[in-house]
Amino acid sequence: MEELEFVGKTSEDCVVADQVTPLKSRDSFTSGLGVIAATLGSAVGLGNIWKFPSLTGLNGGAAFIIVYILAAFMAGVPVMIAELMLGRRSRSDALTTFRVLEPKRAQWGLIGAAGVLSAFLILAFYTEVAGWVIAYVFKAASGSLLSTDPKVTSAAFEKLIADPVQSVFWQCIVLVFVGAIIIAGVSKGIEKTTKRLMPVLFAILVMIGVRSLMLPGAAAGLNFLFRPDFSKVTGAVLLTAMGLAFFKLSVGMGTMITYGSYFTKEENIPLTALRVMLADLTVSILAGIAIFPAVFTYGFKPEAGPSLLFITIPAVFSQIPFGSAFVMLFFVLAAIAATGAMLSIMEVPVAYLHHRFSMSRLKATTMTVILLALIGSTAALSNSVLAGVKPFGMTFFDLYDFLTSNLLMPVGGFFICLYAGWVWGPQKVKEALSNDGELKNGGVITLFLYLLKYVAPISIGIILLRGLKII
Ligand code: PHE
C-alpha cells in the first residue's frame, strides 16, 4: 500500500483525501534511535516511579509484578504493535487514522475520539503530579525536605497539595514547558528532547539503585520485590495490573497510533514494541530496587501507596549521607521521566488539530494547553477547594486516574484489537508488519495475530468485567 494513496484521489473511498496532509510535508522521527528514544520516552514516566512501586507495594510485591508482566505480554504489547502499525499505515493522527483506513465505517473513529478524551483526562492529573515533582526538586535543592520524620515530610506534602495557588501554579508551569517542546515539532522537539533525556534517566536510576543496594535493608527490600505472595491477587488486582500495563506502555488511547505515524518505513515494529516493553520494565524494576531497600532499611511500610514517592522517599533518603542530594536527584529523575510521557500524550490532540484543521502547531498547542489548564485545575484543586466534590465517590484527581487506566484505556485496547485483527484483517497486518515483505518475520506475525485476535481481547474483556464486578 502506498502511503500517499489518498492524496489527490476522488473516489468515494477517499473522502478524507483533502484532510490528509501529504507525507512530504509531515514532520517525522528521523532515525531508529530517535524512534526508540521517543517511544520509550512515552512509556517511561511517572508510571514507573509513582505508580509501579506503590501498586507493587500495595498488592503483594512480586506476585503483582508477575501478573503485570503477563498482562503486558498478553495485552499491552499486542495493542502497542497494532497501534504503531495502524498509525504508520495511515500516516495520520489517532482520529483521522480510522477515517483513512475505514472511510465507510465511521464508527471506528470513536476509538480515536475516546483516545483524545483520554489524553485530556490523563494530562489533567498527570501534569499535577509532575507539578509536585518539580516543586520537590526546588524544595530538595533548598534543603527544606530534609527530615527523617515521616510526620514532617507528610506535613510538607499536605501543605503543598492543600495550597490551591501553588497547585495550580506548578501545573501551569508544567503545561507551558511541555507545550513549548511540542511547538518545536516532532523531530526538533519531541525526538531531540527524548534522545537527550533517556540516557540521563538511566544513569541517575542506576546511581540511586546502587546506593540503595548498599544499605543494610537491601535483602529485605529485594525479597519483597522478588518473592511472590499470590494471596493478594484478586479480580480488582488483576484489573489494576492490566490498567497499569496499558498506562505504562501508553496504549489504548492513540498515543502509539500518533507516534507510529512518525515511524519510518524501515522500522521493525514488533521488535521496537518488544524492546520498549522490556526497557520500560527494567526501569520499573530499577525504580523498585532504588526504593524498597531504602524503605526497609529505615523501617517504613512498603504499602504506603501514592504517598510513597512524596512522603516516604524524602524521609528515607534523608537518613543517608548526602541525603538532600539524593532526594533532589530522585525528583529530577521523576521530572525527566514525566517529560517524555507528557510530550506523547499532548501530541495526541495537537496532532489531531494540526492535521484535521490544518492549524499551525503553535495554535493547536496553545489551544490544547489552555483547555488543559482548565480541566487540569479541577484535579489540581481536588485536595483543596474542590476536596468535597466527589463524583462517583472519588475526587476529580482520582476519578480521572481511575477512568483512564481502568476503563478508557483497556476498552480502547479491546476495540483496537478487534479492529486490527478482525476488520482490517490478517492480510493487511502481514503486509504492514513485514514492511511489505522486506522483513522475514512470518513466525512473529503469526504469534502476534493469535494474540491480537484471541488472547488480548478475551483477557481484556474478562479482566474488565471482573474488575468492575460485572461478572
Ligand atoms: N506511560 C506513561 C507512564 O508510565 C504514561 C502515559 C500514559 C503516557 C498514556 C502516554 C499515554 O507514566
Cα–Cα dist 406/20, whole Å: 33
Grade residue 467 by pLDDT with cuts at 50, 70 and 90.
Answer: confident
Cα–Cα dist 89/395, whole Å: 40
Grade residue 19 by pLDDT with cuts at 50, 70 and 90.
Answer: very low
Q: Is residue 415 part of a domain?
A: yes
Whether residue 16 has pLDDT greater than 80 = no
Compute the distance from residue 41 Cα to the ligand 1 centre, in Å.
Answer: 9
Cα–Cα dist 268/263, whole Å: 10
Compute the distance from residue 110 Cα to the ligand 1 centre, in Å.
Answer: 21
Compute the distance from residue 352 Cα to the ligand 1 centre, in Å.
Answer: 18
Q: How many CB atoms lie within 10 A of CB 223?
A: 15
Q: Is residue 255 part of a domain?
A: yes
- Do 312 and 304 form a contact (C-beta atoms < 8 A)? yes
* Residue to substitute in 248, 286, 409 for testing ligand 1 pocket (most ligand atoms within 8 angstroms of CB): 248
Q: Is residue 7 part of a domain?
A: no
Q: What's the whole-number average pLDDT of the chain?
A: 91
Whether residue 466 has pLDDT greater than 60 = yes
The reported pLDDT for the residue numbered 274 is: 97
CA neighbor of 351 nearest in space, from 195, 171, 185: 185
Pocket of ligand 1 contains residue 118 by CB under 6 Å: no
Note the pLDDT tens digit of each residue in 302-337.
877 777 889 888 888 888 888 888 899 999 999 999
Pocket of ligand 1 contains residue 146 by CB under 6 Å: no
| Sequence-ordered list of residues with C-beta below 8 angstroms from that of 412, at least 6 positions apart, any chain | 111, 114, 115, 118, 251, 252, 253, 254
User: How does 444-456 read in b/e, with b if 16+ C-beta sit within 10 Å?
Assistant: bbeebbebbbebb
Q: What is the pTM of this model?
A: 0.93
- Residue whose Cα lies nearest atom 6 of ligand 1: it is 250
Greatest distance between any 2 Cα atoms in the chain: 71
DSSP-derived secondary structure for 1-15: --TTTTTT--SGGGT
Note the pLDDT tens digit of each residue in 380-390.
999 999 999 99
- Residue whose Cα lies nearest atom 4 of ligand 1: it is 47
Q: State percent of the chain over pLDDT 90.
A: 76
The reported pLDDT for the residue numbered 464 is: 92
- Do 318 and 327 form a contact (C-beta atoms < 8 A)? yes
The x, y and z cell numbers of residue 410, run together, are: 483497556
Q: How many CB atoms lie within 10 A of CB 383?
A: 19
Compute the distance from residue 43 Cα to the ligand 1 centre, in Å.
Answer: 5
The x, y and z cell numbers of residue 105, run together, are: 465505517
Whether residue 127 has pLDDT greater than 50 = yes
Q: What's the chain's length in residues?
A: 471
Pocket of ligand 1 contains residue 42 by CB under 6 Å: yes
The reported pLDDT for the residue numbered 4 is: 40
The reported pLDDT for the residue numbered 401 is: 93
Q: Is residue 9 part of a domain?
A: no
189, 190, 192, 197: CA torsion to nearest 10: 130
The reported pLDDT for the residue numbered 25 is: 62
* Residue to substitute in 39, 42, 49, 309 for testing ligand 1 pocket (most ligand atoms within 8 angstroms of CB): 42
Q: Which domain covers residue 353, as residue numbers?
A: 32-467
Which of 49-53, 339-343, 349-353, 413-417 is predicted with the least confidence, judged by mean pLDDT?
Answer: 49-53
Compute the distance from residue 21 Cα to the ligand 1 centre, in Å.
Answer: 27
Pocket of ligand 1 contains residue 252 by CB under 6 Å: no
Compute the distance from residue 344 Cα to the ligand 1 centre, in Å.
Answer: 8
- Do 70 and 228 form a contact (C-beta atoms < 8 A)? no
* Residue to substitute in 49, 79, 117, 250 for testing ligand 1 pocket (most ligand atoms within 8 angstroms of CB): 250
| Sequence-ordered list of residues with C-beta below 8 angstroms from that of 90, at least 6 positions apart, any chain | 96, 97, 100, 101, 257, 261
Pocket of ligand 1 contains residue 45 by CB under 6 Å: yes
The reported pLDDT for the residue numbered 179 is: 98
Average pLDDT over residues 170-185: 98
Compute the distance from residue 342 Cα to the ligand 1 centre, in Å.
Answer: 7
Helices (H) and strands (E) in the chain, counts: 23, 0
Q: Exposed, middle or buried: residue 360 (CB in 10 Å: 0-12, 13-18, 19+)? A: exposed
Q: Is residue 2 part of a domain?
A: no
Pocket of ligand 1 contains residue 170 by CB under 6 Å: no
Whether residue 23 has pLDDT greater than 70 = no
Whether residue 450 has pLDDT greater than 60 = yes
CA neighbor of 133 nearest in space, from 102, 106, 157: 157
Pocket of ligand 1 contains residue 283 by CB under 6 Å: no
In this structure, which amino acid lies at residue 280?
D
Compute the distance from residue 196 Cα to the ligand 1 centre, in Å.
Answer: 19
Q: How many domains does the chain have?
A: 1
3-class state of residue 229 by DSSP: coil
Compute the distance from residue 442 Cα to the ligand 1 centre, in Å.
Answer: 30
In this structure, which amino acid lies at residue 23?
L
The reported pLDDT for the residue numbered 321 is: 85
- Do 372 and 127 form a contact (C-beta atoms < 8 A)? yes
CATH number at residue 385: 1.10.4160.10
- Residue whose Cα lies nearest atom 9 of ligand 1: it is 250
Q: Is residue 266 part of a domain?
A: yes
- Do 248 and 47 form a contact (C-beta atoms < 8 A)? yes
DSSP-derived secondary structure for 407-471: IIHHHHHHHHHHIIIIII-HHHHHHHHTTTTTS--HHHHHHHHHIIIIIHHHHHHHHHHHHTT--
Q: What angle do helix axes 361-380 and 164-184 make, rounded to 10 degrees? A: 160
Note the pLDDT tens digit of each residue in 208-266.
999 999 999 999 999 988 888 899 899 889 999 999 999 999 999 999 999 999 999 99
Q: Is residue 51 part of a domain?
A: yes
- Do 382 and 394 form a contact (C-beta atoms < 8 A)? no
CA neighbor of 157 nearest in space, from 178, 177, 132: 132
Residue with cell 461478572: 471
Pocket of ligand 1 contains residue 256 by CB under 6 Å: no
Q: Is residue 245 part of a domain?
A: yes
Whether residue 22 has pLDDT greater than 70 = no
Whether residue 114 has pLDDT greater than 90 = yes
Cα–Cα dist 412/118, whole Å: 10
Cα–Cα dist 67/230, whole Å: 10
Compute the distance from residue 248 Cα to the ligand 1 centre, in Å.
Answer: 5
In this structure, which amino acid lies at residue 79?
V
Pocket of ligand 1 contains residue 38 by CB under 6 Å: no
Q: What is the torsional sign of CA 193, 196, 202, 204?
A: negative
